[in-house]
Structure 1
Amino acid sequence: MTVLTRTIEVTRTYGDVTALDGVSLEIHQGELVGLLGPNGAGKSTLINLLVGLRRPTSGTVELLGGSPMDASVRRGIGVTPQETGLPTSLKVGETLDFVARHYPVNRKDEVVERFGLADLIKRQIGSLSGGQRRRVGVALAFVGDPKIVFLDEPTTGLDVEARRALWDGIRAFHADGGTVLLTSHYLEEIEALAQRVVVVGGGRVLADDTVQAVKRFVGVRKVSLAAPELPDLPGVIDTERRDGRYHLVTGDSDALVVALVKSGLPFEDLEVQPTSLEEAFLAITATEASHV
């Protein structure tokens, strides 16, 4: 498979803070990769290095066979950062035209249809809601017929309907052979879109595999039950009480259930379920935190 971008033993420091610590990563043509990590884990720093907004303190960053610091190389990518500052006086159509003129090939008409922008074309950016601006900002990343798109929290601030509309646009780009690297605080978004998941924490790569493999790798399960209260139970990674039920994430559901029975406290309607990506993420990052 063709490698579109990679980092080789990359370190990035900000004063005394190490944001990335020896990270090696490859993104191949046609992949849709989800990048996960807690706040401060180094996700945005990694994307900034890949798109040429920052230089590594040490190590090598490659993009489309060249350097991400080369403007001619960056013409082959699309980017939506966490914060976008669009010109409020321009209309959406004018903004699309402005961006399209920077590329030898553009997909403006396709992007308008794919991301549902037809009703916004004649409206000024300044008149749009925050969610509408975000939708335009994401769509702009796809205008220049990019080989790879980097999306940093693309659906932040969107309602469920708008978020799923953007999912459809991202899926359509990927189905046509496009490559995407995206970060998101919405783990269900990563689970819905990504084929491969990279989890970073403490500036390092903690896991890198398919969604299913990452969930199997951590071996966590979700145990839910109805009970008035719970005793201290072994191996509980996360606890949530909702609608009169406890929802526990654990690395050893058998030991937890045995301890629950031995406690003698009343409970009912016990369920043990496979983990979601969110529970797997909690387990991976909790393990990393325990080693710090």
Structure 2
Amino acid sequence: MRSLLECSGLSKTYGRGKSAVRALDNVSFTLTEGISYILGPNGSGKSTLIKILAGLIRPDSGEVRIKGLPLGEYPPKQIGFAFEKPVLHPRLVVGEHIRDVATYRGEDNSEDLIQIFGLDWVKNKRFGELSMGYKRRFLVALAFAGLPDVVFLDEPFSNVDIVAKMEIMEGIKTLQREKGTDVVIVSHVFDNIPKIDSMVVLYGGKVIANLIGDEIRLLRKVRFIFPDEVVENDLKRAVQLIQAGKEPKAVECVGVEEGIMELLKRSSEEA
């Protein structure tokens, strides 16, 4: 699978001297085309990273490449962003603004986006009149306006109910599958969208895991808990112990989300 985003040696420090805070510490990772995640708890460096990707701040050192090109050389119209806390005028009209951005990028797909993200009945409303859930739908739709090559979504599922979350999730999958737009979701929680192609997990400004393809699925575990041994993803060993007369106290199925939480917990304990 081809590379979408490559970050090499990214570092960023805020402040100086004793008050200095190192937000990113020599961060290097690769995400592939498709749907990817940048994951990490609050304070992990995600916000700084998204600002660097958006060109809002510069790293102290390091390089970012999108599809092999340095970030500064990649066409800005081909990158869409949905920020968690955007600064948008409350009086802008939903449908008009999506159409304006789409037209600016060269392809008016506004009506498709309005349908995909369930915005039809609010398309004539102003941004300031929307509920938090519909603001989130609108912001995600806006990122896809004009069919950019790649879209970065900052906390796209925050402050939404389960119905909105599922519709946003389905919209993301549909646009990636049918239009080929690559999607990078930046979040503090993992929402289990099927077929995640790659992910990076940040903690304390550092990369603790960079997983691609089947490596993500390996986070899913079947765990046999014996009185004196824990066996993970090793059915042969579990059978040997059972045949030796040892009965497991429990058998657990650990999903991707739990696997990520274990990585974060381990990093926290080692810090």
Secondary structure at the counterpart of residue 164 of structure 1: helix
Partner of 2:258: 279
Secondary structure at the counterpart of residue 75 of structure 1: helix
Q: CA deviation at 1:271?
A: 4.3
Partner of 1:119: 121
Q: Is the 8 A contact 2:10 2:63 kept in 1?
A: yes
Partner of 2:184: 181
Q: Which digits, 9 at most, give the CA deviation of each residue in 1:127-156, with x for residues without a partner?
A: 211111111011100002110000010010
In the superposition, relative to structure 1, how do residues 50 and 190 fare at CA in structure 2: closer, same or farther (>3 Å)?
Answer: farther
Q: CA deviation at 1:168?
A: 0.7
- C-alpha distance in structure 1 between counterparts of 2:263 and 2:217, whole Å: 10
- Could you tell me which runs of 5 or more consecutive residues in structure 2 were left unpaired when the two chains were aligned: 233-248
In the superposition, relative to structure 1, how do residues 154 and 193 fare at CA in structure 2: closer, same or farther (>3 Å)?
Answer: farther
- C-alpha distance in structure 1 between counterparts of 2:43 and 2:220, whole Å: 22
- Could you tell me which runs of 5 or more consecutive residues in structure 1 were left unpaired when the two chains were aligned: 224-232, 235-250, 255-269
Q: Which digits, 9 at most, give the CA deviation of each residue in 1:216-270, with x for residues without a partner?
A: 35968498xxxxxxxxx99xxxxxxxxxxxxxxxx9379xxxxxxxxxxxxxxx6
Q: Highest relative contact order (Cα 8 Å, sep 6+), 1 or 2?
A: 2
- C-alpha distance in structure 2 between counterparts of 1:64 and 1:105, whole Å: 21
1:28 aligns with 2:28: no
Q: Is the 8 A contact 1:218 1:284 kept in 2?
A: no
Partner of 2:171: 169
Partner of 1:216: 218
Which AA in structure 1 matches 2:41? P
In the superposition, relative to structure 1, how do residues 32 and 157 fare at CA in structure 2: closer, same or farther (>3 Å)?
Answer: same
> Among 170, 195, 198, which residue is 1:196 paired with?
198
Secondary structure at the counterpart of residue 110 of structure 1: helix
Q: CA deviation at 1:208?
A: 1.6
The size of the alignment, in residue pairs, is: 250
Q: CA deviation at 1:79?
A: 0.4
Which AA in structure 2 matches 1:119? W
Q: Which digits, 9 at most, give the CA deviation of each residue in 1:162-187, with x for residues without a partner?
A: 00000010000110222111023342
Q: Is the 8 A contact 1:11 1:57 kept in 2?
A: yes
1:55 aligns with 2:34: no
Secondary structure at the counterpart of residue 75 of structure 2: helix
The percent of aligned pairs where both chains have the same amino acid is: 33
Q: Which digits, 9 at most, give the CA deviation of each residue in 1:59-103, with x for residues without a partner?
A: 112235544346x72211110011123322222122213322421
Q: Is the 8 A contact 2:222 2:251 kept in 1?
A: no
Which AA in structure 2 matches 1:25? F
Q: Is the 8 A contact 1:150 1:182 kept in 2?
A: yes
- C-alpha distance in structure 1 between counterparts of 2:92 and 2:50, whole Å: 28
Range moving further from structure 2, 83-92 or 198-207: 83-92
In the superposition, relative to structure 1, how do residues 124 and 275 fare at CA in structure 2: closer, same or farther (>3 Å)?
Answer: same
Partner of 1:10: 10
Alignment RMSD, CA only?
2.8
> Among 141, 145, 157, which residue is 2:143 paired with?
141
- C-alpha distance in structure 2 between counterparts of 1:91 and 1:222, whole Å: 56
Q: Name the TM-score, length of structure 2 as normaliser.
A: 0.81
Partner of 2:240: none
- C-alpha distance in structure 2 between counterparts of 1:196 and 1:105, whole Å: 28
Secondary structure at the counterpart of residue 172 of structure 1: helix
- C-alpha distance in structure 2 between counterparts of 1:83 and 1:193, whole Å: 28
Q: Is the 8 A contact 1:201 1:288 kept in 2?
A: yes
- C-alpha distance in structure 1 between counterparts of 2:223 and 2:88, whole Å: 44
Q: Is the 8 A contact 2:35 2:196 kept in 1?
A: yes
Range moving further from structure 2, 50-59 or 19-28: 19-28
> After the TM superposition, which residues 21-100 of structure 1 pair with which residues of structure 2 at under 5 Å, given as runs?
21-29=25-33, 31-69=34-72, 73-100=75-102
After superposing on structure 2, the runs of 4+ consecutive aligned residues of structure 1 that deviate more than 6 Å are none
In the superposition, relative to structure 1, how do residues 281 and 220 fare at CA in structure 2: closer, same or farther (>3 Å)?
Answer: farther
- C-alpha distance in structure 2 between counterparts of 1:35 and 1:190, whole Å: 13
Secondary structure at the counterpart of residue 102 of structure 1: helix
